[in-house]
Amino acid sequence: MTDVRELDTLGAWLLEKMSRRALEAGHPATVVGVADRYTGLIEDVRQINRRKPASRAVQNPILERLEAIGRSTFSAAEDVSVFLQMLGALGSAGLGVMRRPRSLRFKSLVYHLDEVGWQAIPIIALVTFLIGAIIAQQGIFHFRKFGAESFVVDLVGILVLREIGVLIVAIMVAGRSGSAYTAELGSMKMREEIDALSTMGLDPVEVLILPPRIIALVLALPILAFIGSMAALFGGGVVAWFYGGMSPAIYIARLHEAVSVTHFEVGMIKAPFMALVIGIVACSEGLRVKGSAESLGKQTTISVVKSIFLVIVLDGAFAVFFASIGM
């Protein structure tokens, strides 16, 4: 090794591995002539990888699967309790605000109203316009076979006002604002801002969650749902005019006959409840963020998936309810 001028850890390890293999084969080998400055490195490398890492116990795959199912069952039960806890905390914070209306954080409420309401209008109007147009186009295309094109107005009107309008808007708000809430609260949690707030004697639910965020959402979603429904009806009308050859005046007249205020009410009543569900899920998932960036991403994903799921479940529950009371 006398001519070796440079030796790094990798080289030293390969050398050591070679001599270990030689030793195992019964021919002890010695490395000679290593430059003085590398003897320390050679000595160190001689000590490494001597101990086998403790092998992890191999689990029975069936048991592992069962354990995972058990764990997720428990976590589902925990999810329900987290949701109810947040609902309770919101209730008590709401009572606090009602008792002291001056403690309502008006400034941040307006800020969040702008964020989740005003700034969402263009994209929501665009998407619902397209959805309305697509429903009308499909309706005209298929109803034409029966010569029942004019019934497309009933289809668009009832479907949009009762179900699609509010549902699409709620799903978009869950993706747009729910995820933002989770990420905001989660990063505050990570930076200990929420801890700092509670050590100052303030309730994070009262400062960060109820007045600014949840109330903003509950106010904004019905307005957005209304705008979205109108945009969808407009989209349907445009398609009926250009694709179905139905003049706007006839479209509006038929719409008057087809839909009643009840349909509109059924749609709009759902909006604030959906907003509450989205807000609770988004905020409680945000508070469950742990210290890592990965957990922030995971909780944000969970928040969006869970709130969209719950919005659809809630819509189904409302459909059953309204059917049974005859609305």
Partner 1 sequence: MIDHLSLDVRKGEILGLVGASGGGKSVLMRTIIGLIPKRRGHIEVMGVDIDKSRDRDIHVAAMWGILFQQGALFSSLTALQNVQFPLRENLVLSESLMNEIAAAKLEMVGLTLEDGDKFPSELSGGMTKRVALARALALDPAIVFLDEPTSGLDPIAAGDFDDLIRTLHETLGLTVFMVTHDLASLNTVCDRVAALADGKIVAIGSMADLLRSDHPWVTAYFHGKRSLMLQPETS
Residue number with CB closer to partner 1 (204 or 237): 204
Shortest spacing between CB 234 and partner 1, in angstroms: 37
Residue number with CB closer to partner 1 (167 or 207): 207
Shortest spacing between CB 210 and partner 1, in angstroms: 14
Residue ranges that bind partner 1, judged by CB under 8 A: 187-188, 191-193, 195-203
Shortest spacing between CB 112 and partner 1, in angstroms: 12
Shortest spacing between CB 201 and partner 1, in angstroms: 3
Residue number with CB closer to partner 1 (130 or 197): 197
Residue number with CB closer to partner 1 (205 or 227): 205
Residue with tokens 């989209």: 235
Residue number with CB closer to partner 1 (4 or 202): 202
Residue number with CB closer to partner 1 (86 or 140): 86
Shortest spacing between CB 247 and partner 1, in angstroms: 52
Shortest spacing between CB 195 and partner 1, in angstroms: 5
Question: Of the candidates 224, 231, 230, which has an alpha carbon nearest to the alpha carbon of residue 272?
Answer: 224
